């Protein structure tokens, strides 16, 4: 949550009680500042998805268009809540397992973050959070064979917004993801369930936000998500690596 969004929230939280000025008969509870402000951010992204598992001689290269939506709430004392979800729309994917072949990829995510926003004399603003997230990928190959890679995780993240020039802001952020439970299944093989002892994940992003004259925020983000799973043959866990590199465009209302 960034400086310009905080500005919008502050304006909304403080301006609404002014509507009641000049009406002394209105009960005091009507003059209170609203408890929260809601923001809605639809977005579309282009993503490159790569997954490799050497023990299965497996490599996936996918190119996806995704649709996402974030619902954000700033409450009293700028408590922060965000619900995020998204799903792939179109893909162009190739998987390699002994031979190259076309495949269909489905990628989705869902998460809830809760935290706080620091508002101070510092020219930028810092948001920190934790929560619960899920990310899943399903690959359908020839003969309807499927591979699946699912990860449920606990995120710990932060985001910093810095004003640049006028309505333009620089945004940088990152998130460490502690795996709670994973699920990896390759075509023709038994599936493994990696846990936090086998896996580490993180996400990094940077971009720009532009505050328009009608109080909308145009957003761009370049993001990098990665999972690394250590091999554990006794638990049918293959050593693997997955990353998603994405360019995201959105509008915050």
- Which residue's structure tokens are 């649709």? 67
3-class secondary-structure state, position 197: coil
Q: Higher-confidence residue: 149 or 118?
A: 149
CA-closest candidate to residue 205, choices 151, 153, 161, 152: 161
- What does the mean pLDDT of the chain come to? 79
Alpha helices by DSSP H, the chain: 3-15
pTM: 0.80
CA-angle at 205, arms to 204 and 209, nearest 5°: 160
The answer, yes or no, to whether residue 3 has pLDDT greater than 80, is no
CA-closest candidate to residue 200, choices 219, 216, 180, 184: 180
Query: Residues 63-111: pLDDT tens digits?
Result: 899 999 999 998 876 788 999 999 998 777 766 654 566 778 889 999 9
The answer, yes or no, to whether residue 25 has pLDDT greater than 50, is no
Q: Which residues contact 197 (CB under 8 A, 6 or more apart)?
A: none
CA distance 21 to 17: 7
Q: Give percent of the chain with pLDDT exceeding 90.
A: 37
- DSSP E strand stretches across 141-216: 146-165, 168-185, 199-211
Q: Which range among 163-167, 188-192, 231-235 has the greatest average pLDDT?
A: 163-167
What is the model's pLDDT at position 31? 43
Q: Which residues contact 20 (CB under 8 A, 6 or more apart)?
A: 26, 30, 31
What is the model's pLDDT at position 51? 86
Q: Higher-confidence residue: 93 or 224?
A: 224
Q: Higher-confidence residue: 26 or 175?
A: 175
Domains defined for the chain, CATH in brackets: 3-19+35-207+224-252 (2.40.128.100)
Q: What is the DSSP string of 85-147?
A: EEEEEEEEEEEEESEEEEEEEEEEEEEEEEEEEE-SSSSSEEEEEEEEEEEEEEEE-GGG-EE
pLDDT band at 6 (very low <50, low <70, confident <90, very high): low
CA-closest candidate to residue 47, choices 137, 112, 160, 133: 137
């Amino acid at each position: 949550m960034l400086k310009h969004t905080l500005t919008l929230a502050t304006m909304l939280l403080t301006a609404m009680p002014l509507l009641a000025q000049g009406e002394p008969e209105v009960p005091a509870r009507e003059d209170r500042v609203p408890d929260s402000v809601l923001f809605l951010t639809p977005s579309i992204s282009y993503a490159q998805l790569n997954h490799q598992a050497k023990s299965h001689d497996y490599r996936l290269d996918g190119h996806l268009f995704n649709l996402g939506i974030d619902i954000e709430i700033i409450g009293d004392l700028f408590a922060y809540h965000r619900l995020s979800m998204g799903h792939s729309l179109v893909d162009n994917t190739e998987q390699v397992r002994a031979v190259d072949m076309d495949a269909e990829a489905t990628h989705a995510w869902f998460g809830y973050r809760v935290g706080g926003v620091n508002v101070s004399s510092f020219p930028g603003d810092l948001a920190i959070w934790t929560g619960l997230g899920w990310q899943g990928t399903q690959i359908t190959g020839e003969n309807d064979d499927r591979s699946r890679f699912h990860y449920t995780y606990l995120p710990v993240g932060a985001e910093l917004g810095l004003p640049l020039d006028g309505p333009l802001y620089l945004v940088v952020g990152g998130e460490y993801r502690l795996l709670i439970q994973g699920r990896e299944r390759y075509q023709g093989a038994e599936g493994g369930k990696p846990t936090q002892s086998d896996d580490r994940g993180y996400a990094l992003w940077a971009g720009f936000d532009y505050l328009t004259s009608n109080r909308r925020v145009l957003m761009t983000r370049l993001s990098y998500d990665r999972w690394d799973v250590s091999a554990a043959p006794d638990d049918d866990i293959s050593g693997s690596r997955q990353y998603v590199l994405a360019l995201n465009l959105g509008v915050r209302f």
